[in-house]
Amino acid sequence: MPSGIHMRLAKHRQRMSEQKTKHGDNAGRKKTALYNTWATMKQRCCNPASARYKTYGAKGIRICEEWKDYLLFRNWAMYSGYKDGMVIHRIDHDKNYQPENCIFISKGEHDSLPKPHSIKITDEQIRKVYRLSNQGMRIKQLAQMFSVTKSTISFILRGTGCVRYQKLHKELQNAGTK
């Protein structure tokens, strides 16, 4: 049976642990996935020692002031439909982490989106993809012709994926080129 001092020490440790985790997302000392999303987002944007800083913070990608407070970020996430297994996605890769530029999507959906650093097709080539597709060329042939993946061609033709594809898709629809 534990002695009185051991019981007091255990209670003290528990109180200290609760004080350290003001946000309440620490079930059994394990932080939640949402908390980890927030913490890694902060690391990428604010910590020059982070391995991912060079592709975020060093390029000027910031976190809005509101989201520097985890509780405010968590409230926005829950209101925006966050569920376990989802990841945060910036709609426009040139803009900051802020409510009007972010959504939560599944990891699989996020992984299938073209990454801005991997897009190797110019706007003029995208216009040509539309023209050739309208003339009957298949996705596989287009992908080979432009040295991109079939999913990149599909994203271009559907106007999904990155903001650039969406803007060009609208432009071509409005111009009647599609």
| 151 — pLDDT class (breaks 50, 70, 90) | confident
CA 96-63-156 angle, to 5 degrees, is 25
Residue written as tokens 């409510």? 99
Residue-wise DSSP of 36-50: HHHHHHHHHHH-TTS
Answer whether residue 124 shows pLDDT above 60: yes
Answer whether residue 178 shows pLDDT above 50: no
For the entire predicted model, the pTM comes to: 0.55
Answer whether residue 143 shows pLDDT above 60: yes
C-beta contacts of 121-129 below 8 A and 24+ residues apart: 121/146, 121/148, 121/152, 121/156, 123/164, 123/168, 126/156, 126/165, 126/168, 127/168, 127/172, 127/177, 129/153, 129/156, 129/157
Tens-place pLDDT, residues 37-65: 999 999 999 999 999 898 899 989 999 99
Dihedral Cα 24, 26, 28, 33, nearest 10 deg:
140
Tens-place pLDDT, residues 89-115: 888 877 899 999 999 988 888 777 766
CA distance 162 to 90: 10
